[in-house]
Chains A and B, each alone.
Chain A
Amino acid sequence: KAGVTQTPRYLIKTRGQQVTLSCSPISGHRSVSWYQQTPGQGLQFLFEYFSETQRNKGNFPGRFSGRQFSNSRSEMNVSTLELGDSALYLCASSFDRANEQFFGPGTRLTVL
Chain B
Amino acid sequence: KQEVTQIPAALSVPEGENLVLNCSFTDSAIYNLQWFRQDPGKGLTSLLLIQSSQREQTSGRLNASLDKSSGRSTLYIAASQPGDSATYLCAVPTQGGSEKLVFGKGTKLTVNP
Contact = CB atoms under 8 A, between A and B. Distances in A.
B36 interface: yes
B99 A103 contact: no
B101 A101 contact: yes
B44 A98 contact: no
Contacts of A45: 94, 100-102
B103 interface: yes
Interface string B12-40: 00000000000000000001101010000
A33 B100 contact: yes
Given A42-B105, A43-B89, A31 B99 contact: yes
Contacts of B97: 97-98
Contacts of A55: 99
A56 interface: yes
A109 to B, nearest CB: 13
Interface of B: 31-32, 34, 36, 41-46, 49, 51, 89, 91, 93-94, 96-106
In the A-B complex, list the 9 residue pairs whose CB atoms are closest, starting with the nearest.
Answer: A97-B97, A98-B97, A103-B44, A43-B103, A98-B31, A105-B43, A100-B49, A103-B43, A56-B100
